[in-house]
Amino acid sequence: MNAPAPLSRQMLNLAEPTDDGWFDRVRDHLDTILIDHAHLEKRAASTALSMIFRYTGRAGLARQLSAVVQEEMDHFSRMLDVLETRGVELIRLEPAPYASRLVKAVRPQEPYTFMDKLLVAGLIEARSCERFAILSENVEDPELAAFYRELFETEAMHYTLYTNLARDHFSKEEVKERLLELAKIEVEALRAGGSIPRLHSF
């Protein structure tokens, strides 16, 4: 199996890459990371579905996001398989403050709410994508490593899909500027979780 291609920060528009120590910090909590990841897939499906409800009529959005909903639900059910194989139960888990911090950065007036929701969703996909690449390179179970390699690719496409949707509806300059601002907030949101073992902690 080939290792994932090195991720460039520019490619994912992340303001800072994950440091080399992250996997070492979560290594002994892998089951917790997997539970957190299962919840994340469910939330990703829910985010895409809620945007379909809220932004009905925006050209191309429903079709593109319905594919995302289906893919995220597929990831969720495959995560349930992963947990079952390992004898781990999908328990409730206090989420990292990451997503709620990012949601707070969404501007309350339209059409900026729409732009920010797309870009925040894109950044969450980008960070997840980066973390999945790290997991694929480091987990010992070869099946799990292959699964993460596959997810890395899908989430990279989701990142592109969300940011392209923003560019379809707003000027490229506006999107670029706001993406830079939100990418900085994304790193602060990541730090807010401290070192609790979560997919989106520091």
* Dihedral sign from CA coordinates of 162, 193, 184, 5: negative
Does 72 bind Fe ion (CB under 5 A)? Our answer is yes
Output DSSP code: residue 2: P
State the residue for tokens 């004898």: 87
**75 near Fe ion, judged by CB under 5 A:** yes
Residue 44 or 190 with smaller CB distance to Fe ion: 44
Q: Is residue 127 part of the contact set for Fe ion (CB under 5 A)?
A: no
Stretch that binds Fe ion, among 3-11, 16-24, 50-58, 150-158 (CB under 5 A): 150-158
From the list 193, 192, 188, the residue with the least C-alpha distance to 93 is: 193
Q: Check binding of 39 to Fe ion (CB under 5 A).
A: no
Q: What share of the chain is helix, strand, coil (3-state, %, to 5)?
A: 70, 0, 30
Q: Report in angstroms how near the CB of residue 63 gets to Fe ion at its nearest.
A: 16
Residue type present at position 186: E
Cβ atoms < 10 Å from Cβ of 6: 7
Q: Which stretch binds Fe ion (CB under 5 A): 11-19, 97-105, 121-129, 178-186?
A: 121-129
Compute the least distance from the CB of residue 44 to Fe ion, in Å: 5
Closest approach of Fe ion to the CB of residue 34, in Å: 13
Residues engaged in binding Fe ion (CB under 5 A): 41, 44, 72, 75, 125, 155, 158
